Structure 1
Amino acid sequence: MNRVLLALALLASLSTMAFAQHAGSDQDEKACIHDVERLCRKWMDQGDFTILACLKENRAKLHPSCRDVLIKHGQ
């Protein structure tokens, strides 16, 4: 029983670290919010992956700071 609890705790901490590594910071959000509002407004209620797809589709139209955020996150 203790091993199961330990494994679950370890898995939870690893998942949290992986999520934090890929999650955008407030600074990332500020860099892209204007591009999201300008280029992806009609998809804003459809979730993060849809917005990400929109940003990637419009990469050439993005402000350089938002393009840098995509690159930083491997997109």
Structure 2
Amino acid sequence: MSNVYIDERLLDAAGLSDFPELYAYIKERYPKPIGELPQPVPIGDQTLQQQVKNNDDIIYALNEIFEPP
């Protein structure tokens, strides 16, 4: 999937398609390198990503054994 395609979809979703100069200003002011992943945020001995995964595992495990009344 092309980044240009994604940008166009985001422009449409944000309502910026009619204001290309505003979009250009935002892109210039807040540039983000393509392909860079955010670094894990350490929380004690675990990372935020691990905490989210653990919470997700707990939620889905609870749903598997859930018995309706």
Give the TM-score of the pair, scaled to structure 2: 0.29
| Higher RCO structure, 1 or 2 (CA under 8 Å, sep 6+) | 1
Give the TM-score of the pair, scaled to structure 1: 0.28
The answer to which structure has the higher strand fraction is 2
**Quick check: which has more Rg, 1 or 2?**
2
